[in-house]
Structure 1
Amino acid sequence: MSVPGSWYLILAAVLFGVGAFGLLVRRNILIMFMCLELMLNAVNLTLVTYSRMLNDIAGQVSVFFVLVVAAAEVVVGLGLIVAIFRGKRQVTADDLHVLRG
């Protein structure tokens, strides 16, 4: 018994929607960061689903590159968040003007 590919696509759409909603509504930069990662994982799920449905490995190769870019984004983003957090004890999206110098 196999799960149809359309269910995975629906799940990916829901995850992407939750991530987009959280990114637009929340003000805490860490929560926004996690929502962005949720959106990237939803895209990865979509790529893997289409790769399996089409019997093509190109989608899985694309997922590898998306994961590498996401890891680099986490390193840079968390470095910026820690730099802001050291000056203040609260990190919100409005505090990004501190990085101007």
Structure 2
Amino acid sequence: MCLGIPGRITAITDPGAMLATVDVSGIRRTVDVQCVAEPGRPLDDLIGRWALVHVGFAMALVDEEEARATLALLETLGEAEAERDAMRLTADLDRGEAA
């Protein structure tokens, strides 16, 4: 099952392509932030914000409390490790490393 998993936006890596780095439980991954970017506001405003990440896209912004509660729930359900493994695999592929 694929879920949205909370990650903290740590950097804007390509403003023109609307790409940012998110940190999901220590795993850093490049994601598209087009769905969460606010028109007329600089993308740098997203740095430090939490977003639900799914298949390379930040789908929605969430507050830190909700993000931490969601991560805890995923841990309890045993889904967090599978999601982190998927994030780790795609992060390796982004860097051109074989899985």
TM-score norm. by structure 2 comes to: 0.28
Structure with bigger strand share is: 2
TM-score norm. by structure 1 comes to: 0.28
Which one has the largest radius of gyration? 1
